[in-house]
Amino acid sequence: MAIQEILAAISDENRRKILQTLKNGKISSGDLAQEVGMTPQALSYHLAKLKKADLIYESKYKNFIYYELNLTVLDEAILWLGNLRGE
């Protein structure tokens, strides 16, 4: 886990909005774009940043791409931040 990539990814309000939406479960890219109010091109840019930080999974089914949270990486980031606080 590269903590700097995770922190950089979640520093952006748009990416936090995407993560908040994904906490409700797996969603297609088209539905995700509508839900967060982004164009497909803008969404693609932010999804690439989230994938680079391993914060999301991508899976393909027929002609659709679905995204979901990678809770393992989120847990590791939370542990790292807690450790920084001395917890």
User: Do the bridges between strand 27-28 and strand 56-61 make them parallel or antiparallel, or are there none, so unpaired?
Assistant: unpaired
For position 11, which CATH number holds?
Answer: 1.10.10.10
Answer yes or no: is 71 within a domain.
yes
Answer yes or no: is 64 within a domain.
yes
In percent, how much of the chain has pLDDT > 90? 76
Answer yes or no: is 41 within a domain.
yes
pLDDT above 70 (res 31): yes
79/81 Cα distance (integer angstroms): 5
The whole domain housing 29 covers 3-82
Average pLDDT over residues 18-47: 96
Give the count of beta carbons closer than 10 Å to the beta carbon of residue 78.
Answer: 11
Number of domains in the chain: 1
Answer yes or no: is 87 within a domain.
no
pLDDT in tens, 36-78: 999 999 999 999 999 999 999 999 999 999 999 998 988 888 8
47/58 Cα distance (integer angstroms): 9
Give the count of beta carbons closer than 10 Å to the beta carbon of residue 53.
Answer: 22
